[in-house]
Structure 1
């Protein structure tokens, strides 16, 4: 897994990634963290999220996708359903859902450059020491990078 420092969303706009993946809950909220930034900057991604069934537990491990077109650049944002809800303390990240999201990303976007934040290890409370190897395994042989935010 490559790690780079910077702004994942700006990197996509600059052409460094064809695909950006972030973790979402199954409640169609996108109300905090990078999800909120995506919602505000790329409303198409929020529309793709809202086109799914709110509160449906069968969404865990699936994805919704938005095509983003800005000036002469096109890329995709993947909303990966990696947690059911956002409320309460403790771990809300579902490790098997993260695995299935990454499998879906590889199946649909093999050969593309893929960037992602610390999916499931921020507000969702998951353990990056568990999540990073899952991502590495599922995206093996793909051009992918973890982007650690740095303004």
Structure 2
């Protein structure tokens, strides 16, 4: 038992009460234009603007694999931009997902969730355009988040 709740729905419209963090995986190139990020940008301009600024000013911002940026988009709602993908395309070095970076980012996400008393909401991170396998990501979420008592909901988008 992972302690992760699975629901059908839109992760940009998280269910439940209280403070919520929507988390997703970004690449380390500053690209924001395909996949789940488009759904985020349709709802709020701040996460994309903050991510692009973070990438541009990275000398002092800690931008890189495993880093997380928290952007508040509402009184009780945050978006976590987690850098867990090297590049954007599958090529000679394999798929873009970097499980170690996702693991590091989930640790920082857990600390922030505990600090805020927040639940965490996400699509199947790292498993879309990043090319990852849920069988590798799910145990990281269980270890980093649910083992610390953080409520996690994973959204499968569909009708």
TM-score (norm 2): 0.83
Equivalenced residue count is 147
Return the offset for 1:53.
2.6
Gap runs ≥5 in structure 2:
none
Return the offset for 1:88.
3.2
Q: Does 1:98 align with 2:102?
A: yes
Gap runs ≥5 in structure 1:
none
Which residues in structure 2 correspond to 1:99-118 (within 5 Å)?
A: 99-110=103-114, 111-118=117-124
Return the offset for 1:58.
5.6
What whole-Å deviation, never above 9, does each CA across 1:9-41 have from its counterpart, x for those lacking one? Answer: 1226x7576110000012222211111221232
Return the offset for 1:87.
2.2
**Distance verdict in 2 for CA 1:48–1:15, change over 3 Å:** farther
Q: Indicate if the aligned counterparts of 2:127 and 2:133 stay in contact, CA closer than 8 A.
A: yes
* Structure 2: distance between partners of 1:30 and 1:58: 15
Secondary structure of 1:65's counterpart equals strand
Secondary structure of 2:55's counterpart equals coil
Q: Indicate if the aligned counterparts of 1:116 and 1:145 stay in contact, CA closer than 8 A.
A: yes
TM-score (norm 1): 0.87
Which is worse superposed, 19-28 or 57-66? 57-66
**Distance verdict in 2 for CA 1:45–1:15, change over 3 Å:** farther
